[in-house]
Amino acid sequence: MIKERFDAIVVGAGPSGNAAAYTMAKEGLKVLQLERGEYSGSKNVQGAILYANALEKIIPDFRDDAPLERHVIEQRLWTMDDTSYVGMHYRSQDFNEERPNRYTIIRAQFDKWFSRKVREAGAVLLCETTVQELLRDSRGKVIGVRTDRGDGTVFADVVVLAEGVNGLIGQRSGLRAEVRTDSVALAVKEMHFLPREVIESRFNLKGNEGVVIEAMGTITAGMTGTAFLYTNQESISVGIGCIVADFEGSGQTPYGLLEAFKNHPSIKPLLENSECKEYAAHLIPEGGYNAMPELYGDGWIVVGDAGQFVNAVHREGSNLAMTTGRLAGETIVWLKRRKEIASKANLSEYRRRLDETFVMKDLKKYKNIPAFLHGTRQVFGVYPQLLSRAAQTWFRVDGTDKLSKEKEILKSFRKARTMPGLIGDAFKLVRAWR
């Protein structure tokens, strides 16, 4: 395929692969990046929110030319029942800053930009090339990959597996176990186009200001999951995702859930008269720290979704992907400078560096949250309904005295969940959160 030997091969051109390839190429390493899609981004799906901090550490001046949609000035967290939502909104003028903290992006466009930066830094990118397996020497060290192109083999000192949530290569090579159905969410998403002035008036925005909505409740029909709506410049991303294991036996279709969410009385007016131009689906690894596979070995290293680097509670993934990609790249550069090989022992430096960042600290902190959320279905059904009814009882003025209203609200909670149930749920949440 290519006779030349590379310092590193990066499998995949998503945020983690691009971060790794860029970091290494910029430092002068010979990098080959392989991507199965027609271009970087053609197979990638995300909501999507870009967290500036993680990218700033790779490309400090990314704001100069990256395709950014809107910077987020308002976050809306909703719990929904069939007719209502109870919301916690935070909007601040402070988010209209010189270097905004969060942006909405359109991944196919963003990834193309990031990929251009990678090539400008000197990496060789081969698209439309699917990696089929890892090549090993007689002692089992990974020394390259076989692809579906030409004679297919290509060699390097180290292979960075940025292959995404499905991670076929790592799995088939026995580097990690199959992803469990209770550790992964299936999300579907549509892109709805509207004139930008319509979006700005519907969401009370000026210029490039943006709003994001994250929602949970009866919209997931009893399954563990969330929905979202993000404002882009001239489009709205709307989607919903649930844990794969919950779909089994539910009879629910992902597109049926999405239609129901779009038709919710609180969402429908926001999308009115829009034109849908794409329907996408993707898996999100949500098992957290406890689902994390081996992250490195002789001649290989894992970054991004393939390593389960997602903080599901905070809807963070691309920033973990970029950070793990950068740290893997930096570790490989560091070894190269010291003229040391990419052995398992030497690559443990990657894990040491990861442990010092928010990536591992957050994943460790939330390690029991996925099990809590999956084991406490009330969070997605009973509680949103109770909250909505409580709010309605509280706000509706109907001649009932306030003390009676308070008693009615408390009674509704006790009846739906019993006092020990309520205390138990609170206790489990606190214990998982700490």
Find all residues with CB under 8 Å of 315, minimum gap 6, and list them.
47, 49, 214, 226, 228
Structure tokens at 399: 């001649």
Decide: helix, strand or coil at residue 393.
Answer: helix
Residue 59 or 108 having the CB closest to other proteins? 108
Residue type, position 184, single letter: V
Nearer to other proteins, 118 or 223 (CB): 223
Closer by beta carbon to other proteins, 148 or else 406: 148
Which is nearer to other proteins, 157 or 163 (by Cβ)? 163
**For residue 48, cis peptide bond before it (omega within 30 degrees of 0):** yes
Residue number, 165 or 312, with CB nearest to other proteins = 165
Smallest gap from Cβ 394 to other proteins, in A, equals: 23
* Minimum gap (Å) between residue 130 Cβ and other proteins: 5
Question: For residue 281, how far is the Cα from the chain centroid?
Answer: 13
Nearer to other proteins, 247 or 372 (CB): 247
Q: How far is the CB of 180 from other proteins (least distance, A)?
A: 8
Smallest separation, CB 127 to other proteins (Å): 7
Comparing CB distances to other proteins, the nearer of 329 and 381 is 381
| Cβ atoms of residues 241 and 188 within 8 Å | yes
Specify whether the CB–CB gap between 220 and 240 falls below 8 A: yes
Q: How far apart are CA 390 and CA 384, in angstroms?
A: 10
Q: Residue 120, class by beta-carbon neighbours within 10 Å (0-12 exposed, 13-18 middle, 19+ buried)?
A: exposed
Shortest distance (Å) from residue 357 CB to other proteins: 26
Least spacing, CB of residue 425 vs other proteins, in Å? 21
- Please enumerate in sequence order all residues whose Cβ is within 8 A of that of 341, keeping only pairs 6 or more positions apart, or say none: 157, 335
Which among 365, 348, 366 is positioned nearest to 295, based on CA atoms? 348
Q: In angstroms, give the least distance from the CB of 74 to other proteins.
A: 22
- Can you tell me the distance from the alpha carbon of 355 to that of 358, in angstroms, rounded to the nearest whole number? 8
Q: Find all residues with CB under 8 Å of 173, minimum gap 6, and list them.
A: 133, 134, 142
Q: How far is the CB of 169 from other proteins (least distance, A)?
A: 10
Question: 265 Cβ partners below 8 Å, 6+ apart?
Answer: 83
Which residues contact other proteins (rule: CB under 8 A)?
Answer: 36-38, 41-46, 48, 82, 106-109, 111, 127-130, 147-149, 165-166, 168, 178-181, 184, 186, 188, 190-191, 218-221, 235, 244, 247-260, 263, 276-283
CB-nearer residue toward other proteins: 281 or 391: 281
SS3 282: strand
